[in-house]
Amino acid sequence: MKGFIKQIRPDGKINLSLQKLGYGKTDDVSKRIMHMLQEQDGFIACNDKTPPDVIYKLFGVSKKAFKLAIGRLYKERSITIEERGIRLNTK
């Protein structure tokens, strides 16, 4: 299993994370969202208003990580965020 060092504590112990830290963790989530959008004909009925448990079941991440990822995709103009979900932009 791959992990990432979050902090080395004064007592010599290490705090680990199974996901990348900071903005880097959105890379994996963004790729999963884009892959799912392509599989679902460009629309997923899931947005920033979706309950955290549903987001976790679909993507295996927290709602915060999901919101960071869709925010990033929105800024890149890869998706549009609608009232009912997110839609893949066609270029």
Domain hosting residue 63, numbered range = 23-88
Q: In this structure, is residue 28 part of a structural domain?
A: yes
The three-state secondary structure class of 88 is: strand
- Residue 63 inside a domain? The answer is yes
Would you say residue 3 lies in a domain? no
Amino acid at residue number 66: F
Global pTM exceeds 0.85: no
Contact 41, 15 (CB under 8 A): no
Domain count, the chain: 1
Q: Is residue 12 part of a domain?
A: no
User: What is the C-alpha to C-alpha distance for residues 59 and 14, in angstroms, rounded to an integer?
Assistant: 27
Q: How do residues 15-71 score in pLDDT, each as one tens digit?
A: 888 766 665 667 788 999 999 999 999 999 998 899 999 999 998 888 988 999 999
DSSP label of 24: G
Note whether residue 18 is domain-resident: no
* Domain CATH number, residue 59: 1.10.10.10
33 in any annotated domain: yes
Tokens of 20: 């990348």
CA gap 91, 77 in Å, rounded: 9
